[in-house]
Structure 1
Amino acid sequence: MLKVLLVEDEFVVREGIKKIDWGTYGYEFCGEASDGELALPLIRKTMPDIVITDIKMPFMDGLELTRQIRREFPDMEIIILSGYEEFEYARDAISLGVSKYLSKPIGSSELIRELDDLKENIEQKKLEREMRLQYQKDMSEDVRSMRRAFFKDLVGGNLSVSQLIEEAEENEIDLVASAYCILLCNVSKGSLSADGDEKDVDSMYETLGEWSDKYGDDFLVFERDLDGVAILFKGADAESVRASVKKHSREFAEMMSKMDGVRFYAGIGSVAERVSEISKSFENASKAFAHRYFDPASRIVTYDPLMAEEDIIVSTDDRIPDVRHEDDKNIEFSAIDINDASRNMLLEYLRTGDETDVDYFVREYLDQVGGSALNSLLFRQYLVMDVYFTVAGFVTDLGFAKEDIEAPDSAMTIAQSIDGVRDFCIRIISAAMELRDSSSRNKYKDVAETAVAYIEEHYMDEDLSLNTLAEHVRFSPNHLSMIFSQQMGVTFSKYLIEYRIGKAKEALKCTSMKSSEIALEVGYRDPHYFSYMFKKITGQTPTQYREGK
């Protein structure tokens, strides 16, 4: 039933229109006001489908009310009801896009006829609006996937500024600002175990969604699969961006602290004053963020010393100088202990770390386990062997041979310098993580195949969703979305839609079923939405496709 609201300053006219038996004609009279100023809050509250308004009224006239309605509710239908027939009024009303311009006095039957004339158009527009919203909901996974891809391009440093701006516009992302800063963050249950991570990251996405709705002009949020999220702060200048980063990072940390047993970690990069410098901000944020592998506490770490405060510590890039000719007699080896805790730190990174952090991890790891002892050739040789055996053990546990990673040469030439040790560690840890990821891909291939089989068996169920599928394969929706996209080359939502439309095309060509019946058979309870989706995918209506047009 369509809702009608009346705005009329003449009491007699208003009472006459109110007395119409609106329900009999299929309408709901939802309110009245004597002028535009009183009408506007009532319109916001009742959200009528049609507003009938006089033109000449005190305080706010009908034309100004129309302007306000058009600004806030562009799909709302407006009927001007006026005793003035001057051309200027009609011209202004038409320019504002009113649906009808009627003269007073007007009888109830004539007014109902005019409303009925609009009814079909209103219902069609409402149906189209509902279908657009449903389509946006169905394709939200694709939107998230495209945003993730854009962020990788943004921080990858491989595209020109014009290409980045063009891609941002395609994704409806406002990238224009004078200063930027990247913040990387994630949450976990105490340690970085994958099972805990994916559930907590899903919760973080929900929390950040509420947060970004409130402060959307200050920053952009990008999901990074199981690596947490990246937040791109932007503003008018470096000072305002720094203030925004400090304010919001604390707010988010405080929200996360209310979740029981959750560890929150954030790394803040440097401020960039050009789009082309955002990749550098990301690189520095990654350096700060890499401290999470060594720091079990919840923490905000910044690369930018100007953001340092009591609860935001500074990450330093200071490293031990590379001394090639050392005197081992000056090293107190009794104080050096590469113990199980250190090895477990390395194993934890091998199991759950991001390969893009390997350089930062190795630098920090060598500093933590070695310190000044790295100046000793003897200690470096010992450290190289310890790292090698730890990594080799990890690789063999995955089912690979230890020969799949590089071994130190018999002369230990790689230990002749700190740089040599560092480069060797980076190489073998990177190789081990590549083997880890290939093992995961093989495991995830089975998950994707199970998911596809489930889709093929249940595609006719309208309630089939990423959540129900995730429950079936026992993964979180976010993790499953990542796995499915990587394995199948398309998102779950796109795969499901195309599979359903493919089945519909078969039925249209091979059976005499009605379009509405086919819609139900392929998982669409609403035949209108089925037709909408069919045309979106094929460029034709179901009828046109069946007739071969």
Structure 2
Amino acid sequence: MNLKVIIVEDNPLTVRSLVETIDWSALGCYIAGTAYDGESGRKLILSEKPDILLTDIRMPQSNGLEMLEAVRDEVSECKVIVITGYEEFQYAVMAVKLSVFDYLLKPVDNEEVIQTVERAVSVIRQDRELDFALVQAQTARRRAKLLSLLVNPAQRKQDVSTILDGIDIHFEAYYVITIQKPNGRIFTQENLNQLNNILSSTYRVTVFLLYDTIIALMMLDDRLERWKEDCEIMIDKICESSIDTLRMGVSELSYSLHTLNQAYHQSREALWSAALGQQMNHAVYYCKDGSHMCFEAGSDVNRQIDMLVAQSNLSDDFAHKAAETIYALSGQQFSRLRAMVALYAMALCNRHNIPFTTKIDTVMSDLWDVSDLEDTRCRLVNLNQALRVQQSSYSLLTRSALQYISLHATKGLQLSDVAEELHVSTSHLSSIIRKETGITFNEHLTEGKMTVARAMLSDPRVLVEEIAYAVGYKNYISFYNAFKRTQHMTPTEYRNKLALS
């Protein structure tokens, strides 16, 4: 975009020469107006808000410096070039005080003016690029903080307050929509843009993509009493515009950013309910009493999985029993089977208080490819074997510590925080973690951060810099080095690998 130039000069011949003999478009500028005295110049400046101003000093009505002093608060970013025949010291001093960009003495030739304007243009563009970068960085930090509030569980009150510091988002209420395609199909950028346009038609929205799930944070300033009706209208539009079938889960209203994680999990629970009930192109609304289950089969499935987990042990025999039960409940429907196996596996880990280490995370990821009864048996046996190894090799203290680290890794966690939570000394905790796991507290902490980072890298719109901030690094370089050291590739290489797969 070309920059706006105004010339204020009482000599018409000088004005004409500047306007007609300089190729302003080649400089990335255009002449927005000219004036021949200080008062007319003042009005023109306030009206046009120029990027660059060329002005004389001695002019009728008011001189150029008086004119500048009158308008400087309104056009503080304007680069002022004074062209004058007066070299008096007091003029130069006042020009410096008014932050004049340059002070040229007449007679000047076009080349001198051109060089000065080129420098002014360069400075303006650099300033604007910096401003844009700062805005982008602020947006990235805000997105990172919001994503952290949404998906990172078990946040302490002081953690949330730290994340909220500087986020500058204030709405009356919020709710979360999670959206998936069946059978793990991935959303394209076109899908994301289309969904974002529909979701933002009624409320402010921030949209994230994590693996195969879109997370939409809806922010409401009004129409709270109609939020569900508005949501249903949006969902109808989404379904009408999409060539793919979709499943959607919607949380309850949340009235504070402090409870976004709860809203996120409500929407995920509703989403799984939709999957278990085979609801397509339909939103399931979370409700505490379970009435969001608009199909009896879904309620039965959840109850039976809960019963299965309550009776569970980590033997191979029980893995076979669980596989047969889940396969029967799924009705041999692949998408239901995958959803149920995932729910069962996560509940199993929680029941037996087993932290999500890298090895467990790998085994859990394999469950997403489950296909038939025999495959379900094999994968659940593998899961139980991994959980047994984890459980037998670590004491309760270590398992509790690792679980706590995985929940709080991105929150500036210190060894002393974990020790205080578990009521042991830092030296004892550090020693037992190193002895039983073979790696240090800091290495476990880094792995916890990397787990979150890998998930965030699946969204191509999330900047690597904002991921660095979200997982607890103060700058990009520290995150880059840690990621490359632990993952044996750069964050960008990892993201490209995900895209290819």
The normalised TM-score by structure 2 is 0.49
The normalised TM-score by structure 1 is 0.45
Which has the higher relative contact order, 1 or 2, with Cα contacts under 8 A spaced 6 or more apart?
2
